[in-house]
Chain A
Amino acid sequence: MTGIIVLIVILAAIAVAILAIAVGYYNAIVSTRNKVDNAWHQIDVQLRKRYDLIPNLVETVKGYAAHERETLRKVVEARNFGINAQSVKEQQDAENMLTGTLKSLFALSERYPNLKADQHFSRLMEQLNGIESNIAYARQFYNDMVMKYNTRIQTFPGKLFASMFNFSGRDYFEIEEESARRPVKVEF
């Protein structure tokens, strides 16, 4: 009789211990996931800043180079695509598109000395450069957090609890910039 009671007590203690560990892991995973969400929000803040700047930029360029309609249209299109993006993947594609079209816009400005000399234009460019480096930093922070989160739910024993509570990994925010991927060419 006493043997059974002891057994029940031991089993109950083990159950309580497992429950406590599960709660601990659950909370840790949720707190890391919240950090990922917060990091994503930081990227979003910077991206919005850039979207807000673009109409202004397009207007300024129009004043000097109205007939470059095709380039301007592409910039606006990429911006709208980015604003409406839903997932990390979509946002990523939109950003790569926007970065590409903005590059051709800057290339274009090289051909218009009056535009390059414009005070307003150069201030916009300065802001845009600042925001662009901020986007890169925000992306770095986001990817750091995603790595932390994914590691937490992919390693043992976090993996057990992650599958128990249906936590899934997050996507990295990656750049598809060709110049960054291409091996450096050395010419003699």
Chain B
Amino acid sequence: MYEHIGKNRAKTYLIIIGFLVFIAAIGYFVGLYLDYQYGVRGEYSILLLGFALAIAVIMSFASYYYSDRLVLSLTRARPISRQENPRVYYMVEGLSIAAGMPMPKIYMVEDRGLNAFATGRNPQHGVIGFTRGLLDSLNDEELKGVIAHELSHIKNYDILLGTVIVVLVGMVTIVSNILLRMFIFGGRRRSSSRSGGGLISLILMIVGLVLILLSPLIAAIIRFAVSRNREYLADSSGALVTRYPAGLASALEKIKGRSAVNTANSATAHLFISNPIGKKNRAMFKNLFNTHPPVEERIKRLKEMSLGVGT
């Protein structure tokens, strides 16, 4: 468990550093390209490198401190109080006590789909979100199973990594899309009078272009790497808190096939308990990078747990 938390922290730092390098590299390559275009040596490249690095550092800090709010506004979640829904409130409070962690804030998304998510940078700033459909359709034992699953994500620092990725990977995707267009459409304006701007900068440009073309793939792979095993881990440690794996198994059974949430997109999909992207919105290609393990396998493992010895 502690090993997993350590790994999540290390991965978060690694991703932030990777992001810094990536953005700085892109800035530098764009600078090189401009140097080449305007026939100057190293003016734009140094300027843009510094500029990109500054932006990347600011983005990294912002993603650490504010990405939970971004996630909440992206999914259009709103906070719910004890008076409004005492059932959920007491369940979350009780299960956080059982898990030995501070009580997270509770949010709700007005959506008929059955799903739940967790976000926040650490357990002290944890947030759990449910869809209205989930709260209405699950019985107490099932809902407890889902809450315990989300609490485990918070306790394991899965949420830090997951939430930081939303912003940073999202940025990489946006930046690379912009640059790709710049290269494709900007290329035409290249003056024919300038030839042989240095073979080295041409090679660097090609490397930059390849990197940019690959970036959506890199983003997808990162998301894939963080998302699958930790669902199994959250399932089992959640079941340890409720002492009732069958509750979550039955909840997943209900959620299966009805988990589509309208406000979720590919940037936030991995935060949810079950894949929130509806089948009709899912492209062929995206299936390759599915963010969640198959529900059947999760249910199977939970059922094995409840058959197993005592604990």
Contact = CB atoms under 8 A, between A and B. Distances in A.
Interface in B66-101: 86, 89-90, 93-95, 97-100
Interface in A30-85: 35, 38-39, 42, 46
Contact of A133 (B90, B99, B100, B243): B90
A73 B243 CA distance: 37
A140 B100 CA distance: 10
A182 B18 CA distance: 60
A1 B73 CA distance: 78
A49 to B, nearest CB: 11
Please report whether the interface of chain B is mostly helix, strand, loop or mixed according to DSSP. Answer: helix
Contact of B94 (A35, A38, A39, A137): A137
A141 interface: yes
Contact of A140 (B89, B90, B93, B243): B243
A141 B151 CA distance: 14
Interface string A130-162: 100110111011001100000000000000000
A90 interface: no
A126 interface: yes
Contact of B97 (A35, A42, A126, A129): A42
B3 to A, nearest CB: 16
A134 B94 contact: yes
B95 A137 contact: yes
Contacts of B89: 130
Given A134-B93, A134-B94, A138-B97, A126 B243 contact: no
Please report whether the interface of chain A is mostly helix, strand, loop or mixed according to DSSP. Answer: helix
A133 B86 contact: no
Given A39-B100, A141-B98, A141-B99, A134 B243 contact: no
Given A35-B100, A130-B94, A137-B97, 8 more contacts: A39-B100, A42-B97, A134-B93, A137-B94, A138-B97, A140-B243, A141-B97, A141-B100
18 contacts: A42-B97, A42-B100, A130-B89, A130-B90, A130-B93, A133-B90, A133-B94, A134-B90, A134-B94, A134-B97, A137-B94, A137-B97, A137-B98, A138-B98, A140-B98, A141-B97, A141-B99, A145-B100
Interface of B: 86, 89-90, 93-95, 97-100, 243
